[in-house]
Amino acid sequence: MYEIVMPQLSDSMEEGKLIAWKKSVGDAVNTGDVIVEVESDKAIMEVQSFKNGILKEVLAKEGDVVSVGEVIARIETAESAKTKQKAALQEEKEVPKEQKTAVEEKVVEQPKPEKKEAAEEKKSEPELQKVVPKHLSKEFSNGISPKARVKAAFYGVDTEKVLQKSAANVLHVDDVQAYIKEHYFTPKALQLLDEYGLDIAIFELNHKIDATEVQEYITKHETPLPKKLSQMQKAIIANVTASAQKPVYHLFEDIDAKLFLQNERYSITAWLIKIFSKVMMTHSAFRSRIINDGVSVSPNASISVAVANEKDLYMPVVKDANRCSVAEIAEQLATFKTKLQSNSFSTQDMQGSNFGISNLGMLGVERFDAMINKEDSTIAAIGTLQDDKISVTLTADHRVINGYEAALFMRDVKKEAQNSLNFKE
Amino acid sequence: MLYREALNRAIDEVMSVDETVVTLGEDVGLYGGSFRVTEGLVEKYGEKRVIDTPIAELSIVGNAVGMAIGGLRPIAELMTGNFSLLAFDQIINHMAKLRYMSNGKLTLPMVVRFPQGVSKQLAAQHSESYEQMLSAVPGLRVLSVNDVNYAYHALKYAILSDDPVVFIEHELLYNKKGEVDFTQELDPFKARIAKEGSDITIVSYLKMLDDVMLAVPEIEKELGCSCEVIDLCSLNPIDYATLSKSIEKTSRLVMVEEDHKTGGYGTQIIAWAAEEMFYALDAAPLRLAGEDVPIPYNRKLELASIPTPESIAQKVIEWGRKNDV
C-alpha cells in the first residue's frame, strides 16, 4: 500500500489544510496525477501521486487541518496488491495485520464516513509507531552505508525518515537520492530534470519544487535539451567516420547536359544512373570493392543513391542498374521517395552497391564532393545545371581505382552523355 | 604473441642494445628456461651473458646483487615462488637495502623474476604466492602483470630501471595469447582498466584477473549491473589514483587474489579503502582470497582452496544481492 502523506511544502510548515480531493475512493491513479490540493502557510499546492494504482482510502476530509507527515490517503499499487495476497496466505507478523485491518475497515467505513474519521485517527498513530522501530531496530536493519550518510548530510536529510520509507535492510545512497527526489520534487518536475539531464543539486532544497520552477530554471539558464542519437544517426556517424579513413582523391568534371534537358521526362539523376551503370560495365574497377584481403568484382553495376529530407538520410541501391531502362530506374527512384516519406526502408534496400551518387543540383549547389558510402569505392556528387552543363565531382578510393582509370571512366561518361542513342527509348 | 614470448622479446631487445644486461638462473641457457622465457638467448648472446647456474637460489640472487653493484644489469630467474624463499636474505637484506644503506653510492639495477601460484597439482611446496611478503619490503618495486602487452613493456622497464625490481609471473599465464603494441609508451606503475563499468569495482592482478573476467558476464547478468575490472599491474607502488577514481564512480569494491586470505596482499587494498575511501563506499567491501591452508595436491581440494571463476561469480552475486547492487 502506497501512502500519501501531508507534504512539507516549506521549511516552516508544520500542518496543512486540505482544500479539495481531486480523486475519489476507487478511482484509478496514474503517476503524476493530482490527488489532492493542500494549503500550506504560504500557498495552495497540488499533491501528486508517485505511483500507479487505485485510491483505496482517504483519511481526511476537505477542510481538515492535518500535521505534516500524517497519512491522508492510501493507494493500492500492483505491488502492494501482490504482497497483500502473499500476506493473506502466510499470516506473518505485524505488516500483514495492518494491511488486513485496513482493508476490513474500508468495507465498514464507506457507508459511514463520520465514524471512519475517528477510527482512522486512532489507527494511523499506532501504525506509524509500529513502522518506525521496525526499520530502526538492529534486528531488521544493517544500518546506513557511508556514502548514503554523506549524501543525507549534504542535503540535510534525516536518515530516519528515509529508513521509514525504505523497504531495504541497509540504506544505500540510491535510497537517499530517491527520498530527496520524492520529497522535494513533484513527479512532473523530476520528469523535466530527467529530460534536460539536470542535477537536483542545482536547486536549493528547502521547499517542494514543481515543474514550473524547473522550467523557470531551464528558461533562465537557456539549458539546451539533450537529444539522444537515433539508431539512424549512429549508423550514419559510423559510416562517414569509416569513409573518412579511405584514401580518396577527386576529379572535378562537367558533363554536357543538353540531352538531359531535351529528355525531361526522367530526372537528371535517373539519366545519370543509366549512364554511369552503362560505363561501369566497361570499367571493372568501378564495380569492385575491397573485402578483407581481396577485391571482389560484381558482375553488374548497382548504384546507391543519396535520398534525404531534413531529418533522415538513406543510401538505397538501384540494383543491377545496367539492366534497367531509364523508366525502370525512374520508377525505383520514385519508390525510394515514398519509402523515405513513410520511413519504410529495409536493410536490404541499402545493400549491394559499388558506386554511389548524390545529387544536390536541384537545391542550387554548384559543386561539392561527397563521402563514399559504406563499402562503395566511388561516389559522384552532382551539382546544379549551368550553361547547359552540370558539375560532377568524382570521389574515388585510391586503393581500388587509380587516377588513370578514373580519368578514362569520366571520359566515357562524358561521351555517353552526348550519345543521343542513349536517350531513345 | 604468447605471454612468455612477450617476456622473451623484452629481454632479447634489451640485451641486443645493452651489453651490460645478463640473465642467470637454473636452465636459462641450454634448456631455454623452465618455461621457455629465455629460449634462444644463449645462442644469440653466448654463455657469458646467459648463465646456467647450479640449483642454489641464494647464490643466484647473491651473484646478481654482486653483478649489479659491479655495473651490470642482471636478470635473475628463479624456478618458482616457493624457491625464492631461499633467496629472501639476498632479496630483502641486500637487493632492497644496499642503495639506502650506502647513501645512494651503490645502485642495484637488477630484476628477480619467478613464476608463482597454483598451477596444476604441484602441491604445497610449489604453488604458493609471496607478493604480500615482497610488497612489504621498502626499496623493492614489485610488478605482477596479467596482460601480454603489459608484460612486454613492464619487464623492459624493469630491466632498464635503476631500481631493484621483483617481477612476479604465473605459471598459467605463460601461454596466454595477446597483442603487443611495441610502439606504445606504457607506465608499468599505472593500473590497467581491464574493463570499464559503472556499478562494482573489482580489483585483481596476475592470473586471478583472468578468472575475474570470466566471472564478470555472469555477475552482470545476475545483478543487472556493470563491473569495472582493474588490473593492479604494480603491487608496490600502488596506483591508488586509478583505484579511487573507480570507487568514486561505482561506490563498491571487490578484491580478488590467489594468496592466503590472512595477511594476503588484498588486505592492503581493503585497508586503504577503509581509511581513504570510507565515505565513497555504499557497501562493505568484499574480499575473495585463497583459504588459509597449504595448497592441497588433490585437484578438487586444490581448486576449492583458491577463487575460481565460478566461486567468484557466486560470491560476488551473493554479496551484490545482499547489498542492493
With the C-alpha atoms ordered A67, A69, A73, A74, is the resulting torsion angle positive or negative? negative
- What is residue A274's predicted lDDT score, i.e. its pLDDT? 92
In a domain, B271, yes or no: yes
B249 → chain A, closest CA residue? A147
The whole-angstrom distance between residue A205's C-alpha and the CA centroid of its chain comes to 29
Q: Which of B5, B26, B94, B126 is catalytic?
A: B126
Partner A, chain B 263-292, Cβ-Cβ below 8 Å = 278-283
Domain finish residue from A55, A79, A113: A113
Q: Is 80 exceeded by the pLDDT of residue A94?
A: no
pLDDT band at B319 (very low <50, low <70, confident <90, very high): very high
Residue B272: burial class (beta carbons within 10 Å; 0-12, 13-18, 19+): middle
- What is residue A142's predicted lDDT score, i.e. its pLDDT? 55
Out of A146, A150, A170, the one facing B323 most closely (by C-beta) is A170
| Residue A350: CA count within 13 A, CB half-sphere | 18
Determine the average pLDDT of the residues in A319-333. 92
Q: Nearest 5°: phi and psi at B221?
A: -70, -50
B251: chain A residues, CB-CB within 8 Å: 145, 147, 173
In a domain, A404, yes or no: yes
Structural domain range at position B199: 192-322
Domain finish residue from A81, A113, A145: A113
pLDDT tens, position by position, A339-382: 998 888 888 888 889 999 999 998 999 999 999 988 899 999 99
In a domain, B179, yes or no: no
- What is residue A85's predicted lDDT score, i.e. its pLDDT? 64
Collect all residues with Cβ–Cβ distance below 8 Å to A215 and sequence separation of at least 6.
Answer: A192
B176 compared with A33, residue with greater pLDDT = B176
Q: Which of B57, B77, B128, B302 is catalytic?
A: B57
Q: Look up residue B178 and give its amino acid.
A: G
CB atoms within 10 A of CB A273: 28
The ipTM, to two decimals, is: 0.71
Residues B149 and B228 in one domain: no
DSSP per-residue codes, A213-240: HHHHHHHHTT-----PPPHHHHHHHHHH
A147–B281: do the CB atoms touch at under 8 Å?
Answer: yes
**Which residue is listed with cell 495492518?**
A98
Q: What is the DSSP letter of A12?
A: T
In a domain, A207, yes or no: no
Question: Which CATH number characterizes residue B128's domain?
Answer: 3.40.50.970
pLDDT band at A50 (very low <50, low <70, confident <90, very high): confident
A146: chain B residues, CB-CB within 8 Å: 278-282
ω into B109 cis (within 30 of 0): no
In a domain, B167, yes or no: yes
Helix H or strand E encompassing A105: helix A94-109
Domain count, chain B: 2
Q: Tell me the C-alpha distance between B250 and B68, whole Å.
A: 44
Phi-psi region of B82 (alpha: psi -120 to 50; beta: other; left: phi over 0): alpha
pLDDT tens, position by position, B115-153: 999 999 999 999 999 999 999 999 999 999 999 999 999
Q: Tell me the C-alpha distance between A359 and A378, whole Å.
A: 14
Nearest to A295 by CA among A372, A399, A407: A399
Q: Nearest 5°: phi and psi at B155?
A: -70, -40
Strand partners, A4: A73
pLDDT tens, position by position, A168-178: 667 888 888 88
- What is residue A117's predicted lDDT score, i.e. its pLDDT? 46
B324: chain A residues, CB-CB within 8 Å: 168, 170, 172, 174
pLDDT band at A235 (very low <50, low <70, confident <90, very high): confident
Residues B226 and B118 in one domain: no
Question: Which CATH number characterizes residue A300's domain?
Answer: 3.30.559.10
Residues B265 and B200 in one domain: yes
The whole-angstrom distance between residue B252's C-alpha and the CA centroid of its chain comes to 24
In a domain, A208, yes or no: no
Residue A57: burial class (beta carbons within 10 Å; 0-12, 13-18, 19+): buried
Residues B246 and B102 in one domain: no
B281–A145: do the CB atoms touch at under 8 Å?
Answer: yes
Determine the average pLDDT of the residues in A391-410. 94
Residues B32 and B71 in one domain: yes
Q: Tell me the C-alpha distance between B156 and B21, whole Å.
A: 11
Collect all residues with Cβ–Cβ distance below 8 Å to A191 and sequence separation of at least 6.
Answer: A32, A211
A313 compared with B252, residue with greater pLDDT = B252
In a domain, B203, yes or no: yes
Q: Nearest 5°: phi and psi at A156?
A: 65, 35
Q: Tell me the C-alpha distance between B84 and A232, whole Å.
A: 59
CB atoms within 10 A of CB B76: 31
Residues B199 and B169 in one domain: no
- What is residue A97's predicted lDDT score, i.e. its pLDDT? 42
pLDDT band at A284 (very low <50, low <70, confident <90, very high): very high
- What is residue A16's predicted lDDT score, i.e. its pLDDT? 84
Q: Tell me the C-alpha distance between A314 and B106, whole Å.
A: 70
**How far does A163 lie from chain B, in Å, by closest CA?**
15
Q: B102 and B191 in contact (C-beta within 8 Å)?
A: no
**Which residue is listed with cell 557466486?**
B314
Residues B206 and B247 in one domain: yes
DSSP per-residue codes, B257-311: EEEESTT-THHHHHHHHHHHSGGG-SS--EEEEE-SSPPPSSHHHHHHTS--HHH
Domain finish residue from A113, A142, A159: A113
Residues A280 and A419 in one domain: yes
**How far does A184 lie from chain B, in Å, by closest CA?**
23
- What is residue A250's predicted lDDT score, i.e. its pLDDT? 95
A147–B251: do the CB atoms touch at under 8 Å?
Answer: yes
Q: Tell me the C-alpha distance between A341 and A335, whole Å.
A: 10
Q: Is 50 exceeded by the pLDDT of residue A134?
A: no
B94 flagged as catalytic:
no
Q: Give the number of A-B residue pairs with CB atoms closer than 8 Å.
A: 30
Strand partners, A76: A54
A interface with B, Cβ–Cβ below 8 Å: 145-150, 168-170, 172-174
pLDDT band at A38 (very low <50, low <70, confident <90, very high): confident
**How far does B76 lie from chain A, in Å, by closest CA?**
44
In a domain, B286, yes or no: yes
pLDDT tens, position by position, A177-195: 888 888 889 989 998 898 8
A173–B324: do the CB atoms touch at under 8 Å?
Answer: no
Determine the average pLDDT of the residues in A105-117. 43
Collect all residues with Cβ–Cβ distance below 8 Å to A89 and sequence separation of at least 6.
Answer: none
Q: B65 and B22 in contact (C-beta within 8 Å)?
A: no
- Percent helix, strand and coil across chain A, each to the nearest 5: 45, 25, 35
A174: chain B residues, CB-CB within 8 Å: 282, 324
pLDDT band at A131 (very low <50, low <70, confident <90, very high): very low
Domain count, chain A: 2
- What is residue B294's predicted lDDT score, i.e. its pLDDT? 96
- What is residue B249's predicted lDDT score, i.e. its pLDDT? 95
Structural domain range at position A20: 1-113
**Mean pLDDT over the full length of chain B:** 96
B282–A147: do the CB atoms touch at under 8 Å?
Answer: yes
A175 → chain B, closest CA residue? B324
Residues B151 and B219 in one domain: no
Residues B13 and B63 in one domain: yes
B153 flagged as catalytic:
no
Q: Is the Cβ of B251 closer than 8 Å to some Cβ of chain A?
A: yes
Residues A235 and A92 in one domain: no
In a domain, A303, yes or no: yes
Question: Which CATH number characterizes residue A37's domain?
Answer: 2.40.50.100
